Amino acid sequence: MGPEEETWFDGMKMCQIHGSNLASVESQEEQNFIVSLMRNSHKTVVWLGGSDWTVEGKFVWEPYGDDITYSNYAPGEPNNHHGVEDCLLIDGSSHKDFSFTWDDRNCDDQHYYICKQMDDVTGNLVG
């Protein structure tokens, strides 16, 4: 989990410095793991590695363009509010009815971020 709030792009750069990318979430187990990290670190909103800037409305995992096969969007999301929301995050804000669901936001907003390092052999989440 990144120690400071960053834009989506800067969060991705910070992850890449450490040999990883912004996290992709490919199962309920991974969603639960990230939520537990968020709760333990008292972070309510974190960037994920998804975006739809290549094709509006088609979110993929960056930087490779992998299809999103598991999702946990809040009702009505993603909605590209004001036409400027192209990056995914998990929102665990206590004021939301659907806590720890996904939302699209402006990539220039600053939030904490979570990196995912892949095991080169199996593609499994590592630490």
Residue ranges of the chain with per-residue pLDDT less than 70: 94-98, 118-127
Report the distance separating Cα 106 and Cα 83, nearest Å.
9
* Two structure tokens written together for 43: 């972070």
Residue 25: the pLDDT is 97
Run of H or E residues at 11: helix 8-17
List domains and CATH numbers for the chain: 8-116 (3.10.100.10)
H helix count then E strand count, the chain = 2, 9
The contacts found for 30-33 with CB under 8 angstroms, 24 or more apart, are: 30/70, 30/125, 31/70, 31/72, 31/100, 33/125
pTM (predicted TM-score): 0.88
Residue 52: the pLDDT is 97
